[in-house]
Structure 1
Amino acid sequence: MSETTSGAHLRKSLGLPSVVAFGLGYMAPSLVMVIFGVIAVASAGTSATVFFVATLAMLLTALSYAKLSRHYPVSGSAYFYARRLLTSPIGFLVGWSVLLDYLFLPMVAWLVQAVYLNAQFPDVPVWIWMLINAGLTTLINIVGVVLSDRVNMVLTGTAVFLVLLFVAYCLVFLVHHEPSDYVAPIWNPLTTVGGVTAATAIAAYSYLGFDAVTTLSEETRDAKRTIPRAVILVIAIGGVLFTAVAYVMQLVHPGFDFGKPGDEQVAGYLLSIQVGGQAFADWTNLAGIVAGFASGLAVQLSSSRLLYFMGRDGVLSRRVFGWVSPRTKTPIWAILFTGLMCFVGMGLTTDVAYSFINFGAFTAFTVVNICVIAFFVRKHRTRRLSVLAYVVLPALGACVTVYLLTQLSPTALIIGGSWLVAGFFWLLWLTRGFRRPTPAMSADEYGEIPADAATRPLPARELEVIDE
């Protein structure tokens, strides 16, 4: 092994419950309470239907991730799939696009936490909360994935408990305040297909992160079975939770009139006061903020793994990003780099920060669906593959994610497009005007990478590995 890898590899220590918990922590279970008011306004009071439709829409892409993670249990996720099944240059640009998403997601998670903590404790500036959040998650992730797993399990469990506690208070409230219409949260006279569709595009952002569990493939036991199951379970559990909570909240507050302009932004907090009183709302809000720390932990973990994979691949610096500590079995420099992104977030608002990430996420989702179809084209003559599972459903998934891309703000599209252009020029430099092959790697079924993999082209015979 070269000194850049130190002979160390990521530690396989995660099981199905841990991987699912990371995915749920990434998605943040309490997010449905945060964006409920916005969804209710956009859908004319049918938020439950919106989350149900969003779950089905994102499930199409989740099925594609599940298929490919079974065939290719490697941490590169969309980046690796595109390189294997499309072309190396396309894979590079997909990885570059995803990098925009994964680089700024930790920053967004810390920024949101800092803003909420500052609202609860206004004497402490946002930038100090940013440093505290980023510092703690970075330290935990450096120590090792075992500690990260334990902390995430506790915090995600706490977050789910708080959401269920809020639902319990809502149900008690409904016992004493009988709803006049149990169907209205699903469909009412003001509901339109266009309104539900537009609101679904907003709600789909709540599901970002289900794909991140594929970045843990090389740290998961029996990844070929565990990761596909985890991807589907994360979407299923998150979707059921979001839909059920939205339905109950819509019964407590029918319609979409929240009083003063802007109150829809804090509808979840207002409903907490309505069903449990001011003290209940304040304590659950604080506890929810603390539990939301799990999102930053999970986001940074997956982001650092993508940087590690691209560094190991030679697309980024192997000596820096492709190095795993022999002691902690973690890519320390990749983790530290993501931690430093908190300094970028100090000068941004949450709206601008979110615009950085959505472009990369939906671009990756679209390409992964296309990769499943490409897999079918390559393999249908040598194995029995379902046209429905490998062509029809991925095609529908690609249509959905392309639609979501078109719903992004002009700012998001400009930032994303500019980032892609920068990536193209970086690829042009790496390949010396495409006179050299795009840096590529090969991996065996355990994710082991030859030391010289990033400096040599990918042999054609290795395109067939990991095809169970």
Structure 2
Amino acid sequence: MSQRSQTRLPRSMGVVGLTLFGISYMAIGTVFTTYGIVNQLTQGHLVASYVVALIVMLFTASSYAAMVRRYPVAGSAYTYSQQSFGGGVGFLTGWVLMLDYLFIPMINFLILGLYANAQFPSVPAWAFTLGAIIVALVLNLLGISIVSRVNTAVVLVSFAAVVVFAFFAIKMAVGDPDAPGVFDPFLPGSDMFNPVLTGAAVLSLSFLGFDAVSTLSEEAKRPRRDTPIAIMVTTIVGGLLFVVTAWVGALAYHLDDWSKAPQALLDAAGSVLFSHVGGDVLGVVFVYITVVGTLGAGLAGQAAVSRILFSMGRDGVLPRPLGTLSKRFGTPIVATILVSAFALVGLFITLAQAAFMISFGALVAFAMVNLSVIRTYLFPSPAKREPLTAGRVVRFGVMPAIGFLLTVWLLTSLEGTTWIVGGIWVLVGVAILAIKTKLFRRPVPTLDFSEVEPTTAAIDQLPRDTLFERRP
């Protein structure tokens, strides 16, 4: 086996597999995980926050689709910003993005442990959490095809749960004279607009599925065609499911003062809501569905972040062992094991703290991808410059610029503590970069796409298995 093939991930996924992976990563059930937190932040305007988040994410997803057509490899925002603005910016973008990617699997495993412990109190929650981490580790080491099949089952189960919940919630709302109007959950009112923005910023973590899809570009059969389609479908379908689920929940379960919401609703909203609309039996069923859903989301999250670490290790900006693939299964073995070990940190933080930190990392990365589109397509090097047309300016200039401004708008809505912790994380990244570059006297390693970087018109004519070299 050549050195080149040893650092290439096997291509095995089509549009359906990529989309199901993204939706599984988004974890439809996450609407219940953040239900109490965001409703408390917005005084019951969760639906409005989801609508705002979806609008912002559609612009950013469009930017991801544009960048993955140009650079169809593992690495996501890290690769895109690296190729657009240089190795240093790319590393820091990947480093910040890693903040939310490392938190997501651990939070899912932690939630799984808590829900399972509620049904089997004699078994400590940490035992369930540890078991889930081990199961996800084994499945991810065996290969992305197995992960894809598991994700398909998880999406089907989660979708069925949402349909059942929607049925019972609408049935209850129809017979409730105190239920809000059909459109009331969508209307925040002028005095609640800033809280709605804060809620949308937190909910941005729910849309990381389209970013996760981009991390599998090297494993897509036709990355320049399949991955962009999967990114957009994941965003639209996942976002609409979030909005609809939050909407029917608002019709069936409403409080006058969310600041006085019961703690059970804030910690385990799904179980409370299902029991409210369907009785205790449905509440118990939801617990089991949540266990399945969080395992699938944790599995997908672990797969995504391990590929970012793999990409950064392969480039040499992180320790090179991270860029090692299993000779038998073709999976990033060292990176996957490291992510599993880091997931144990989730036992020491609260859900609210993790939610804000995940959103910080995601929004910074989203902002950089929007800027990368403008830099790559409108201001490339003279040798790669193409004629500017009105359509090109709108697609690669106006749309990502709107996405960037909306993303920054959400970033400013995050709590001050989040900025402090996020800033410390960035400083740690700068320190690592300084060490790797001998106090910035050496260039940051990057991937060389010079042999295969096509014009827009020629992108779809390239062979799907084109190889990429790392610059010496």
TM-score (structure 1 length as normaliser)? 0.89
In the alignment, structure 1 residue 215 sits paired with structure 2 residue 221: no
Q: Quote the offset at 1:310 in angstroms.
A: 0.8
Distance 1:36 1:430, change over 3 A: closer
Q: Quote the offset at 1:261 in angstroms.
A: 4.2
Kindly report which structure 2 residues correspond to 1:61-460, keeping only aligned pairs within 5 A, or say none: 61-177=60-176, 179=179, 181-187=181-187, 192-254=192-254, 256-257=256-257, 260-262=261-263, 264-265=265-266, 266-318=268-320, 320-375=321-376, 376-378=378-380, 381-382=386-387, 384=389, 386-443=392-449, 444=452, 446=465, 448-450=467-469, 453=470, 456=472
In structure 1, what residue type is equivalent to 2:446?
A
Which SS does the other structure have where 2:467 is aligned?
Answer: coil
Query: Which deviations, in whole Å up to 9, do the C-alpha atoms of 1:60-99 show, x marking residues without a partner?
Result: 1111111111111111111111111112211121122222
Task: Find the aligned partners of 1:190 and 1:261 in 2 and give their Cα distance.
Answer: 27
Corresponding residue of 1:465: none
Q: Quote the offset at 1:6 in angstroms.
A: 7.1
Q: Quote the offset at 1:135 in angstroms.
A: 0.2
Equivalent pair of 1:44/1:191 in contact (CA under 8 Å): no
Of stretches 251-260 and 137-146 in structure 1, the one that deviates more from structure 2 is: 251-260
Task: Find the aligned partners of 1:397 and 1:52 in 2 and give their Cα distance.
Answer: 15
Query: Which deviations, in whole Å up to 9, do the C-alpha atoms of 1:135-179 show, x marking residues without a partner?
Result: 000000101111111111111211111111111122333444465
Equivalent pair of 2:204/2:363 in contact (CA under 8 Å): no
Distance 1:124 1:411, change over 3 A: farther
In structure 1, what residue type is equivalent to 2:156?
G
Task: Find the aligned partners of 1:446 and 1:232 in 2 and give their Cα distance.
Answer: 23
Q: What RMSD in Å do the two structures reach over aligned CA positions?
A: 2.4
Q: Quote the offset at 1:263 in angstroms.
A: 5.2
Query: Which deviations, in whole Å up to 9, do the C-alpha atoms of 1:377-431 show, x marking residues without a partner?
Result: 2266446452222122212211222222223333322222122212212222222
Query: Which deviations, in whole Å up to 9, do the C-alpha atoms of 1:289-315 show, x marking residues without a partner?
Result: 222211000000001111111111111
Task: Find the aligned partners of 2:396 and 2:170 in 1 and give their Cα distance.
Answer: 42
Task: Find the aligned partners of 1:62 and 1:48 in 2 and give their Cα distance.
Answer: 20
In structure 2, what residue type is equivalent to 1:209?
G
Which SS does the other structure have where 1:10 is aligned?
Answer: coil
Q: Quote the offset at 1:212 in angstroms.
A: 1.2
Which SS does the other structure have where 1:315 is aligned?
Answer: coil
Task: Find the aligned partners of 2:272 and 2:107 in 1 and give their Cα distance.
Answer: 24
Task: Find the aligned partners of 1:418 and 1:46 in 2 and give their Cα distance.
Answer: 32
**Unmatched segments (≥5 aa) in structure 1:** 457-468
Count of equivalent residues: 451
Distance 1:189 1:369, change over 3 A: closer
Task: Find the aligned partners of 1:74 and 1:124 in 2 and give their Cα distance.
Answer: 42
Task: Find the aligned partners of 1:309 and 1:210 in 2 and give their Cα distance.
Answer: 18
Of stretches 401-410 and 8-17 in structure 1, the one that deviates more from structure 2 is: 401-410
Task: Find the aligned partners of 2:407 and 2:348 in 1 and give their Cα distance.
Answer: 30
**Unmatched segments (≥5 aa) in structure 2:** 453-463
Query: Which deviations, in whole Å up to 9, do the C-alpha atoms of 1:107-157 show, x marking residues without a partner?
Result: 222222222222332222232122101100000010111111111111121
